[in-house]
Amino acid sequence: MMYETVTKKTGILYVGSEPKMPVERPETPPIYVSTANIICDMDDYDNASQGNKYYYCRTANPNRDNVADAVSFLEQGEQSLVCSSGMAAISTTLLSLAKAGDHIITSNAIYGETIELFDRIITKFGMEVTYVDLTNREEVQRAVRDNTKIIYTEIITNPLIRVVDIDSIVDIAHRVGALVVVDSTFTTPFALRPLEHGADIVIHSMTKYFGGHSDLTAGCITGRNELMKKIYADYLLFGTCLDPNSSWLMLRSIRTMEMRVSRQFANAKALAEALQEDCHVRYVNYPSLINHPQHELAMQLMPNGCGAMLSFRVEDDREKVNEFMHRLKLVKYLGTLGGYKTTIAHPATAFRFEFTTEQLIKMGMEEGLIRISVGIEDIQDLIADFRQALTVFAKAK
Ligand SMILES: *Cc1c(COP(=O)(O)O)cnc(C)c1O
């Protein structure tokens, strides 16, 4: 026993802390939870702090780096940073790349909290934000100014599932030397890789499809070395890194991501078609449907599937919509998306504090609009669940 000269009180702090090394060729990387590595002496300090990447956990961690490698591989990017949430990734990127006096163009059909970030934080630091319809090239073009630094976009808008022409955005931005930052959460690298379209930065809320099991909160940022170096310097100071345990679990989730999302994409397409056939459904928003306003663009940009998010409209009757939710047997109402189970959300309820009813209706968020995040269930079970619940709309008032 190594620590027999000290008391149990002290010994228990030290015993068992030597790694059982070497463990040769484990199939899965171990979890490195250590927040720091031991420095031998003063001579070793430079090596430890400068040379050894894994000197302190916030600076670098092997599990987090494994995830970063996987993300860079999927997005075809040079370098990635893995963050504690999607919002951590978004705020770190924006605060790092833009400064007071810079102008940012975005849209109000993006993730709600990103809009709040622009309105409450970004503008507080003296950056200007203009909201446009990013699916309208002329409108984007008109919004560009000499000081435009970033065009910030998502590919599939929320909750109306419109498609942004990434090539057109990149073209407009790069003509004036602005950067294109894409939140690609809804599309995933299996539907579209923004960097291949010339975008400068791609971000994901990994809480959604990357994690895929509704049990991890994380985000990531990917881009070329020169930009990522700049973001990394600020990421260290903001402390927006992901912890080792979550990183390890995230890597495990990523291993099966392609299988999950390809099933989710296929299910979304089939469910969209089935809902469109249902007599209680007024319309369905999903890009692979021929009547979608950007159907051709979507097919061109996302030939392997247009994601697993769709929305549909039923009668604008709060009571019946509530009853519809109660009647669904498999599908639950959840404040997230991208999990392996199908979930629904109610946009008008989600945005009721930010907008008046009139504004919501103008934005296409009527009481009868329901958003679906499609999972990996057997498609027949899924369609059957929606069909039986939709019969509540057959009832006369
Ligand atoms: C969920 C989400 C975010 C925020 O991610 P968190 O992991 O919840 O911080 C950002 N953008 C989109 C499109 C999202 O769906």
Q: Domain residue spans in the chain?
A: 42-255, 257-393
- Per-residue pLDDT tens digits for 123-158: 999 999 999 999 999 999 999 999 999 999 999 999
User: What pLDDT does residue 10 have?
Assistant: 86
**348-393 pLDDT per residue, tens:** 999 888 889 999 999 899 999 999 999 999 999 999 999 999 999 9
Q: Is the pLDDT assigned to residue 325 strictly greater than 90?
A: yes
pLDDT tens by residue, 90-132: 999 999 999 999 999 999 899 999 999 999 999 999 999 999 9
* Residues 218-264: tens digit of each pLDDT: 999 999 999 999 999 999 999 999 999 999 999 999 999 999 999 99
- What's the rounded Cα separation, in Å, for the pair 217 and 232? 20
Nearest Cα to Cα of residue 28 among 255, 213, 206, 202: 255
Is 208 near ligand 1, meaning CB less than 6 Å away? yes
Residue nearest to atom 4 of ligand 1 (CA): 86
Ligand 1 atom nearest the C-alpha of 90 is: 10
- How much distance in Å is there from the Cα of 256 to the middle of ligand 1? 21
Q: What percent of the chain has pLDDT over 90?
A: 85
Assess whether the C-beta atom of 207 lies below 6 angstroms from ligand 1. Answer: yes
> What pLDDT shows up at residue 280?
97
Q: What is the band of 287 on the pLDDT scale with cuts at 50, 70, 90?
A: very high
Greatest alpha-carbon pair distance for the chain in Å reads 84
Please give the pLDDT value at position 1. Answer: 54
Q: Give 56's DSSP letter.
A: B
Q: Please tell me the residue having the least CA distance from ligand 1 atom 5.
A: 86
Angle between helix 379-390 and helix 318-327 axes, rounded to 10 deg: 140
Compute the half-sphere exposure of residue 158: CA atoms within 13 Å on the CB side of its CA. 26
Q: What is the DSSP string of 340-373?
A: SS-EEE-HHHHTTTTS-HHHHHHTT--TTEEEEE
Joined together, the tokens standing for residue 110 give 């993006």
pLDDT digits (tens, 9 = 90+) for 265-276: 999 999 999 999
pLDDT in tens, 59-78: 999 999 999 999 999 999 99
Confidence of residue 321 (pLDDT cuts 50, 70, 90): very high
Distance 205 CA to ligand 1 centre (A): 5
Q: Specify the pLDDT at position 397.
A: 61
Hey, which of 108, 111, 181 would you mutate to test ligand 1's pocket, going by the most ligand atoms within 8 Å of its Cβ? 111
How would CATH label the architecture of 257-393?
A: Alpha-Beta Complex (3.90)
Average pLDDT over the chain, rounded to whole?
95
Protein residue whose Cα sits closest to atom 7 of ligand 1: 86
Rounded distance from Cα 151 to ligand 1 centre (Å): 18
Residue 87 near ligand 1, beta carbon < 6 Å: yes
Contacts of residue 8, defined as CB under 8 A and 6 or more positions apart, other chains included, come to none
Beta carbons within 8 Å of 229's beta carbon, 6+ residues apart: 79
217 CB near ligand 1 (under 6 Å): yes
Helix axes 379-390, 257-277, angle to 10 degrees: 40
pLDDT bucket at 51, cuts 50 / 70 / 90: low
Establish whether residue 106 lines the binding site of ligand 1, counting it when its CB lies within 6 angstroms of any ligand atom. Answer: no
- Under CATH, to which class is 42-255 assigned? alpha beta
Q: Who has greater pLDDT, 353 or 190?
A: 190
Q: How far, in Å, are 134, 135, 189 from residue 138 at the CA level?
A: 9, 9, 28
Alpha carbon of 186 to ligand 1 centroid (Å): 9
Residue whose CA lies nearest to ligand 1 atom number 12: 111
Amino acid identity, residue 39? I
Neighbours of 299 (CB within 10 A): 15
Mean pLDDT of 214-219: 97
- Identify each DSSP E strand in the chain by its residue range: 79-83, 103-106, 128-131, 148-154, 179-183, 201-205, 219-223, 283-285, 309-313, 332-333, 343-345, 369-373
**Which residue puts its alpha carbon closest to atom 8 of ligand 1?**
86
- In this prediction, residue 12 carries a pLDDT of 82
Q: Sign of torsion, CA 53 58 63 64?
A: negative
Radius of gyration of the chain, Cα coordinates, nearest whole angstrom:
24
For residue range 12-48, list pLDDT tens digits in order.
888 878 888 778 888 999 999 999 988 888 888 877 6
Separation of CA 388 and ligand 1 centre (Å):
31
For residue 84, how many other CB atoms are within 10 A of its CB?
18
Calculate how far, in angstroms, residue 183's C-alpha sits from the geometric centre of ligand 1. Answer: 9
Q: How far apart are the first and last CA of the chain?
A: 79
CA–centroid distance, residue 96 to ligand 1 (Å): 19
**Coil, strand or helix: which one is 289?**
coil
- Return the higher-pLDDT residue of 7 and 245: 245
How far is ligand 1, taken at its centre, from the CA of residue 337, in Å?
Answer: 9
Amino acid 38: pLDDT: 87
Q: What is the pTM of this model?
A: 0.95
Mean pLDDT of 185-197: 98
Rounded Cα–Cα distance for residues 225 and 213 (Å): 31
